[in-house]
Structure 1
Amino acid sequence: MFLLKRFKFKKSINKIDEFIVDEDQLKIFCELASAQKSIGLDIEGNGFYRYPERVCLIQVSINDRPFIIDPLQFDDLTSLGEIFNNSKITKIVHAGDYDIRSLSRDYNFTFNNVFDTSIAAAFLGSGRLGLDAVLKEHLNVEVSKDKRLQRSDWTIRPLSAEAITYAANDVRYLVNAMETMSDKLNSLGRFQWVQEEFKRLSAVKYEAKDEEVAFLNVKGSRDIEGQNLAVLRKLYQFREDEAISKDRPPFKVISDSILVAIARNPQGNFDDIKGIGWWGRPEPSSRLKKVIKQGLEAPPVTRPKKKDNERQRLSNKQRERANVRLRSLKVWRKGIGDELKLDPSILWPTSSLNRLSRFPNDFEVEMENPEVRLWQQKEFGESLKIMIDKDSG
């Protein structure tokens, strides 16, 4: 029998959850988790309040029993990472891309053998894919998802009993959900389909943004060029430095819309910028003006152009024919979706249909594109080929 320090909460808490805050507890927990065939997994981060973002809670369930690990109390979580990488243990997540990327970012964790209940629900034809909706549909379990708690600053300690219960409920039913949904997927002959999707999810890794070109992705700035783009780059770098020094997300320092407004008219009056707020005051605005001056004195910036591929050029007639073919291919895909009661978008990538509509003779080449899954080729490749040949004849 193992013993962990317990938190005692208000009477409204239905179940006392294990909260892991020291090395001895973590060691005992990892020994227990390592002996399981499957565990539920979720995290809570602080990206809405802090910068850079970091993982603030790691929730793991064994059967229907949730454990909450406080990563802020540990310097080394290698033993936990070994469990996540263990191919003999299924890690059950819900919409787990964010969780896996975050754990990759903060701890360089890698994953093997993942089951995502959101993906499973999509392949079962569920119309709503939120955790609460999925649990209600497939387990008839009701879990309240309070948006207020979802947007909490999970850095703050001590956590309230309400917050801990919220976090625990994110993993409490995942093992049961996987078992139920796996049976349904097998009965429909779709388990191999989701297995390929899960393998792709397992391979997800965090990729840091390229600081040299990140400013080009500021929302609403695509048409900004030259000297104005040089100003935007300086403003972006200034905001990034401010965000790090203040430990606040960049969007809470200066919004993209304000950066763009200033870059478009760098010598304009700040009073004319909607939402300028605090940055319109004398001292902050003088700091911004220094940054603007640096941008105006810097060499103009040329936005990188997309590679001009001669092969991608189509005449007006060819483009018109491609549009007709694309509509036909989408009708084909929707027909299958209606028959299987599935969202058509999961049956074949839209980007692939776009390419095939333009270059229908490249079918074999398209089958080698990594966007196209093996299960899609096996189930629908022949039908798609017939459709393209018929439409191109």
Structure 2
Amino acid sequence: MKPTIHYLTTAEGIAQAAAHFATLPRIAIDLEFDDMRHRYGRHLALIQVFDGQEAYLIDPLELPDMAAGLEPLFVVLRDPAVAKVFHSCKSDILLLDELFDVHCRNIVDTSVQFTLLAAEDNNISLGRLIQAEMGFEVDKGEQKSNWLKRPLTEAQKEYAANDVLYLFELTDKLTARLAELNRVQWAMEENAALEDVRYGRDDQRPWARNAAKYKITPQEMPLYRELYKLRDMVARRLDRPPYHVLSNDKLAELVRQPIKTVAQLRAANGLHPELKRPPFAEQLLNLAHAELEPETPLPPDQRRFPFRRRLSGPAAARADARESLLMALKGHLATDHGAVMSNMVLSNRLIADIIEQGAGAALRPWQQQLLRESAERHGLKYEDIAEPFA
């Protein structure tokens, strides 16, 4: 028998449900949101909660003041006395931080738990995890539907509820398996770290993200930047994702083959019609002829040169020695615990962090323990990489 599904559309209903959630030791939770798929920006579309008996679909789009209407639920999310069981929660907690400045406490992520089992597939979806751990399939046909469109269909509601209905059983099963491997504490450390995940609000040059992929040269970057900004302006005006205005491929193409005449603009393919109308048509044509400001260097405090590129001479040699030791330890970890676990402790990113910061700052306690044990087992000095680079 399937649990009752409550569909909540009013602030009063949400407040009543949140008062109930606040009395529980744990809730299962998931968010549906639109991330530049159907509208410009990121928009919360639905919150699903399971209390162990019944499911609640909280519809924020019906609220006259979304933040105020959801605040009683946000109080529960901030409350460390109530565990919040998610699957692969980073996107959800980043959205809550970005839109509402809400920081979840006491997070239990079934994706984190499964990863620490060190199985071959560490990026497992919720559907596959349910199938693997519980032996049946759930319908995922609505995964890419438009969650901002109302009314929601019955299929969407059932899909949304399925994202939380099985999380308690999954986390209990995974906790038992972790306990058999003496890794429950590992999961606690990783889940605790999720409380500190924050949305990055300091990206001053978003156009630079794809520039390397399209091999945009320094000479091409000013036009690429201005086209990117024009596309973003039109997308905001239309409330549409930027790729609806101009694809990334077309953006790069226009850098190398600028549209210079009205005739070319009329004949151009792959442009949203709004780009062919005033005032954006004139702006697009002007960019092909304008003397554009070159990209200015970032201020020193915003430059992100890799640590190793800042070193030379004896300091670079010491960093190389640290890297050699870490690569040897990675091989020993693979021998002792398998390749998956070896990469979890010493991924390329973590090796770079350890070279600069030391294992004590870059790794969780459980990772430090495994690394120290492997070092001792194979006659290497953990102390040589424990402290920050000096």
> What TM-score do you get using the length of structure 1 for normalisation?
0.81
Secondary structure of the 2:174 match is helix
The change in CA–CA distance for 1:268 and 1:389 in structure 2 (over 3 A counts) is: farther
SS at match of 1:277: coil
Q: Determine if contact 2:246/2:270 at 8 Å carries over to the other structure.
A: no
Aligned partner letter, 1:291: L
Shift of residue 52, structure 1, vs aligned partner: 1.6
Task: From the superposition, tell whether residues 254 and 64 of structure 1 become closer, same or farther in structure 2 (CA, over 3 Å).
Answer: farther
Which residue does the alignment assign to 2:387? none
8 A contact 2:244–2:272 mirrored in 1: no
Residue 61 (structure 1) aligned to one of 40, 50, 58? 50
CA distance, structure 2, for counterparts of residue 15 and residue 189 of structure 1: 34
1:300–1:387: structure 2 CA closer, same or farther, 3 Å change rule? farther
Unaligned runs of 5+ residues in structure 2 are 385-390
* 2:113 matches 1:120: yes
Q: Secondary structure of 1:82's partner?
A: helix
Alignment of 1:1-393 (within 5 A): 16-47=4-35, 48-74=37-63, 75=65, 76=68, 77-128=70-121, 129-146=124-141, 149-208=142-201, 210=203, 212-219=204-211, 220-221=213-214, 223-226=216-219, 228-266=220-258, 276-278=269-271, 283=276, 287=280, 290-291=283-284, 293-294=286-287, 296-302=290-296, 304=298, 307=305, 311-313=310-312, 328-338=328-338, 342-354=340-352, 365-369=357-361, 371-384=362-375, 388-389=380-381
C-alpha deviation, 1:325, in angstroms = 5.7
* CA 1:313–1:249: 2 relative to 1, 3 Å: farther
Deviations 1:206-258 (A, max 9, x none): 22353x411111342454213x2211111111111111111111122212222
The one-letter amino acid paired with 2:337 is G
Q: Identify which range, 105-114 or 381-390, moves more after superposition.
A: 381-390
Q: What amino acid does structure 1 have at the position aligned with 2:135? A: N
User: Where does residue 388 of structure 2 map in the other structure?
Assistant: none
Task: After TM superposition, give the deviation of residue 62 of structure 1 in Å.
Answer: 0.6
Instruction: Give the distance between the partners of 1:288 and 1:329, measured in 2 at CA.
Output: 58
TM-score, scaled relative to structure 2: 0.81
Given that 1:262 and 1:268 are in contact with CA atoms closer than 8 Å, whether structure 2 keeps it comes out as: no
Letter in 1 for 2:47: I
- Give 1:279 shift: 5.0
Change (3 A) 1:241 1:384: farther
Question: Which secondary structure does the structure 2 equivalent of 1:56 belong to?
Answer: strand
Name the CA distance, whole Å, in 1 between partners of 2:44 and 2:322. 46
The verdict on how the C-alpha distance between 1:64 and 1:184 changes in structure 2, with shifts beyond 3 A counting, is farther
- Label 1:22 to 1:332 Cα distance change in 2 as closer, same or farther (>3 A): same
Letter in 2 for 1:330: K
Asked whether the equivalents of residues 87 and 109 of structure 2 are also in contact (C-alpha less than 8 Å), the reply is yes
Closer, same or farther: CA 79–266 of 1 in aligned 2, 3 Å:
same
Do the aligned residues in 1 keep the contact of 2:227 with 2:251 (CA within 8 Å)?
yes
Q: Which amino acid aligns with 2:294?
A: P
* CA gap 1:230/1:32 in 2 versus in 1, 3 angstroms: same
Deviates more, 1:157-166 or 1:99-108: 99-108
Q: What whole-Å deviation, never above 9, does each CA across 1:139-179 have from its counterpart, x for those lacking one?
A: 33432222xx1111111111000000000000001112122
In 2 relative to 1, CA 221–313 (structure 1 residues): closer, same or farther, beyond 3 Å?
Answer: farther
Which secondary structure state, in structure 1, belongs to the residue aligned with residue 42 of structure 2?
coil
Q: Are the aligned partners of 1:37 and 1:89 in contact in 2 as well (CA < 8 Å)?
A: yes
Question: Counterparts of 2:8 and 2:33 in 1: how far apart (Å)?
Answer: 17
SS in 2 for 1:92: strand
Q: CA deviation at 1:28?
A: 1.7
1:251–1:100 distance in 2 versus 1, CA, 3 Å: same
Aligned in 2, Cα 1:136/1:117: closer, same or farther, shift over 3 Å? same
Q: Distance between the aligned counterparts of 1:143 and 1:57, measured in 2?
A: 19
Once residues 307 and 125 of structure 1 are traced to their aligned partners in structure 2, the CA distance between those partners, rounded to angstroms, is: 32
Q: CA deviation at 1:323?
A: 7.9
Give the C-alpha shift of residue 102 in structure 1: 0.9
- Report if the CA contact (8 A) 2:246-2:271 is conserved: no
- State the Cα deviation string for residues 182-201 of structure 1 (Å, max 9, x = none): 22212211011111111111
CA contact (8 A) 2:27 2:50 kept: yes
1:381 Cα deviation (Å)?
2.4
Q: C-alpha separation between the residues in 1 aligned to 2:332 and 2:381?
A: 13
Closer/same/farther in 2, CA of residues 297 and 113 from structure 1, 3 Å limit: same
Distance apart, 1:266 and its partner CA: 3.0
CA RMSD of aligned residues (A): 3.4
| Paired residues, number | 363
State the alpha-carbon separation in 1 of the partners of residues 131 and 255 from structure 2: 48
- State the AA in 1 paired with 2:331: V
Shift in Å, 1:57: 0.1
